[in-house]
Chains A and B, each alone.
Chain A
Amino acid sequence: MKFRTLAATAAIAALALTTAACGGNNNSSSPSSAGSSDSSGSGGTLTYWASNQGTSLDNDKQVLTPQLEKFTQQTGIKVNLEVIGWNDLQTRIQTAVTSGQAPDVVNIGNTWAASLQSTGAFMPFDDAAFKAIGGKDKFVKTAMDTGGVAGQDPTSVPVYGLAYGLYYNKAMFSAAGLTPPNNWEDLVTDAQKLTTGGKYGFALAAGSYTENAHFAFINAAQNGADLFDKDGKPTFSSDGVVNGIQRFLDLMQKDKVVNVANAQYDNGTKAVNDFATGKVAMILNQNNADNSIVANGMTSDKYGVVPFPAPSDAKSQVASHVAGINLSIFKNTKNKDAALKFVNFMTSAETQTALDKPFSALPVLNGATPNFTDNAAEAKTFADIYSTKSKPLPLVPAEDQFESTVGKAMNQMFAKIASGGTVSTDDIRTAMKTAEQQVAAAG
């Protein structure tokens, strides 16, 4: 009888607890030593948490399953796959880190690499580990740099490469007699010309804190500003960062080329849908937008991509952060060898080629050619942005704090603009000072 088992379980649990609590000192509870990834069981089963790369969780499952079957055939190791949406992934990783009830292998957004590394819950890739997955040198250097804090053994290795690009609707541009912008000023004037008749020049995921934080970084980088100083202290309220944020906010506030409704767009796909359905002429997105654009009925010959342009007096032509997905192994895995085999498999040339296309990812392996799109020009542009115009987000433990505090502050500023308020440079500076304090307090 179900209930009786449950009651008994609970009672036993209660007993165990009272003794544990009286036994005192709580060190007995250190979960990393307990290391119980029960879910993975013993003898050749791995648990793998994949992030959502395709058009839906289900789509990801369909794409990954044949590859995982192939892996099982080759090695005899079974893989339990769970695809986790981006809204949940951070919380799920957090609870896994806290509880030690973790999968063996997990996908992480590469910007979290340093932050997650600082939890000490992930396996550092030492020389032996790198040897097992085919050597550090097989990865593109920019991609590999995101693996963790410089000077330490990284705790993650790249699996999918991504970069931001400026997508533009070819038909709308040619109808208005425009060519794709080369600098920020052109982008604004073009967007203004295209903002007519219920259509807008630009769409932004202005309600997504991660997207906003990325653009705070990119715009600041174009101004030559850094987010953290040498000692790892946040410098969000420096002129370069504040002006960069102002420039980005002004797309909605001053230039009015963004529909205020975008302030409610809490993930990138909503802007992508607007673009794919011809409601806006331009979006900024990572190359995995291709999937959604095509899924919404816009073929790859209907749009072009150029690097996100910097102002003409910019100090740097940075057009993207080094975006992408990394693979990490939980330190307390009981299947370390199997996990390494799996990482090796996922980052092998063959698997990469098979997955880059459905997930619209850039290759992270040296010598591989982008195959995520049949649009050669687009592939070349993205490959170029990725290898020459990308800068990694700061590889410091507080990086995730930067994303949440600055990103959320920008959400609020966009919300204020959208509901008719104005955001001045001073407002931005005040908000950034607050964000700096929050980061310091979280330390």
Chain B
Amino acid sequence: MAAATAPPSTTEAPPKSELKQRRPRPSGWWLPYALLAPAIVFEVVIHIIPMVTGIWMSFLKLTKAFISNWGNAPVIGTKNYEVALDFNGAVGSALLQSFLVTCAFTLLVVGISWALGMAAAVALQGKFRGQGFFRTLFLVPYALPMYAGIIAWKFMLQKDTGAVNHFLYDNLHLGGDKPFWLIGDNSFVSIVVVAIWRLWPFAFLMLMAGLQSIPTDVYEASAVDGAKPFRQWRSITLPMVRPVNMVLLLVMFLWTFNDFNTPFVLFGNAQPPAGDLISFHIYNASFLTWNFGSGAAMSVMLLLFLLLVSGIYLLVLNRRSQRA
């Protein structure tokens, strides 16, 4: 690891800032920086430099004519952004549609996953036979490698050979033709269900741990006061898991909004507009058209949007908790 700590230019120049304070340095002041150095080096390499490169690319005409010699791609200013934001044009309107689909997808997936996770966590509260078994069972979708679970769903959602249509039309005898689940508008339903299946165990895991930290005597006290279970949940459980919720919802939002794997594995080359999540859309927009400058511009805008939403979320939450 000695080599990794070597480059001083990448650390946050600690000597200088320390000097400013004109205080005698406590011995070992450098230790936290040395400890952080590998992480900082890697953060710079894997996050900061690529991000800066990505932003720089978004101002270039980085099309197929320049891709083999991208050092010479001409700077075109904000042209890529203008095209992507021109919602009357083909590119912009497709991006807008994908953005809206992603918003709806995220709301549904995060909301329902949270609800399911909460329901399961509450249901598994207290002691009963088989509790450990079900807790383990519910974690299986999360433990499965992402693509393996999605591939199983892809098989189940096949029109003629899939389990879903077999169940609905052969077992339950719904009338009519078996629908497609992976093309057309139904693909939205499919991708929401698959994403929930994969995500809700994570909400369950976090909320369950949050519930465990609530001392049982709080419930007992309120039960003595005659509170019904639902009121207990609202007046005790919800406030107590609030710290967990704060982080959980934000992380689930970010993961879901950036979800690439689900549409990529589920739809492959088909890309139905109803399942065209934004990361998937950007990937296709840059790889199919070889227009990497435009793809970079779209990614940067996506990042800005996520920063904005997360920033507002944290601000509002912090203000509220300060008032409380």
A joins B in a complex: yes
Residues of A within 8 A of B (CB): 7-8, 10-15, 17-18, 21, 26-32, 87, 91, 94, 97-98, 100, 115, 118-121, 207-209, 260-261, 263-264, 266, 397, 400-401, 404, 408, 411-412, 415-416, 418-421, 434-435, 437-438, 441-443
Which residues of chain A have C-beta atoms less than 8 A from B272's C-beta?
A: 412, 415
Given A30-B69, A264-B180, A397-B64: A15 and B6 interface contact (C-beta under 8 Å): yes
CB-nearest residue of chain B to A433? B90
A100 engages B68 (CB within 8 Å): yes
B64 and A118 contacting across the interface, CB-CB below 8 Å: yes
- Please name the residue on chain B nearest to A417 by beta carbon: B184
B67 contacts A441, C-beta separation under 8 Å: no
Minimal Cβ-Cβ distance residue in A for B185: A419
Contact present for B68 and A266 (CB under 8 Å) = no
B183 touches A97 (CB 8 A): no
Q: Which residues of B are interface residues toward A (Cβ below 8 A)?
A: 1, 3-4, 6-7, 9-10, 38, 41-42, 44-45, 49, 52, 63-65, 67-72, 83, 89-91, 94, 158-160, 177, 179-180, 182-186, 268-273, 287-291, 294
Complex alpha-carbon distance, A253 and B36, angstroms: 63
A21 to chain B, nearest CB (A): 6
Asked whether A98 lies within 8 Å of B70 as measured between CB atoms, the reply is: yes
Given the contacts A15-B7, A411-B270, A443-B63, A32 and B69 also touching, CB distance less than 8 Å? yes
C-alpha spacing A415/B276, complex, angstroms:
14
User: Is A419 a contact partner of B180 (Cβ separation < 8 A)?
Assistant: yes
- Chain A residues near B7 (CB-CB < 8 A): 11, 14-15, 18
CA distance A393 to B272 in the complex (A): 26
In the assembled complex, the Cα of A17 lies from the Cα of B50 at a distance in Å of 11
Q: Which residues of A contact B158 (CB under 8 A)?
A: 264
In the complex, which residues of chain B have a beta carbon less than 8 angstroms from the beta carbon of A420?
A: 177
Instruction: Name B63's contact: one of A14, A261, A442 (CB within 8 Å).
Output: A442
Known: A18-B49, A121-B67, A408-B288. 4 other contacts (CB 8 A): A31-B70, A98-B70, A411-B271, A435-B90
Q: Residue on A with the closest CB to B273?
A: A412
- B68 near A121: Cβ-Cβ < 8 Å: yes
B68 touching A438, Cβ below 8 Å: no
Could you say which residues of chain A place their CB within 8 Å of the CB of B182?
A: 264
Residues of chain A within 8 A of B65, CB atoms compared: 118-120, 397
Residue in A14, A98, A263 whose CB lies within 8 Å of B45 = A14
**How close is B266's CB to chain A, nearest CB, in angstroms?**
12
Given contacts A119-B64, A441-B89, contact A27 B49 (CB under 8 A): no
Contact A11-B6, Cβ < 8 Å, known A32-B68, A119-B67? yes
Query: How many Å from the CB of B188 to the closest CB on chain A?
Result: 12
Q: Are B63 and A438 in contact (CB under 8 A)?
A: no
| Residues in A neighbouring B160, C-beta threshold 8 A | 261
Asked if B269 and A7 make an inter-chain contact with CB atoms under 8 angstroms apart, the answer reads no
How near does chain B come to A11, taking the closest CB pair, in angstroms?
A: 4
Interface pairs (26), CB distance under 8 Å:
A10-B45, A11-B3, A11-B41, A18-B9, A18-B49, A21-B52, A27-B71, A30-B71, A31-B68, A32-B69, A94-B67, A98-B67, A100-B68, A120-B68, A207-B183, A264-B182, A400-B290, A408-B271, A408-B288, A411-B183, A416-B184, A419-B183, A419-B185, A441-B83, A442-B289, A442-B294
Report A440 CB to chain B, min CB distance, Å.
8
What distance in Å separates the Cβ of B185 from its nearest Cβ neighbour in chain A? 7
Contact of B3 among A7, A87, A434, A442 (CB under 8 A): A7
A10–B69 touching, CB < 8 Å:
no
CB–CB B184/A441 < 8 A? no
A266 touches B268 (CB 8 A): yes
Q: Which of A29, A97, A400, A408 contacts B67 (CB 8 A)?
A: A97
Residues of A within 8 A of B291 (CB): 441-442
A419 adjacent to B184 (CB under 8 Å)? yes
A18 to B6, CA, bound (A): 13
Q: How far is the CA of A10 from the CA of B94 in the complex (A)?
A: 39
Q: How far is the CA of A13 from the CA of B41 in the complex (A)?
A: 10
Provide the residues of chain B in CB contact with A17, threshold 8 Å.
Answer: 45, 49
The minimal Cβ–Cβ distance linking B240 to chain A, given in whole angstroms, is 42
Bound Cα distance A59, B278 (Å):
38
Contact of B71 among A11, A29, A119 (CB under 8 A): A29
Residues of B within 8 A of A98 (CB): 67-68, 70
B158 nearest CB across to chain A (Å):
8
In the complex, the chain B residue whose C-beta lies closest to that of A440 is B90
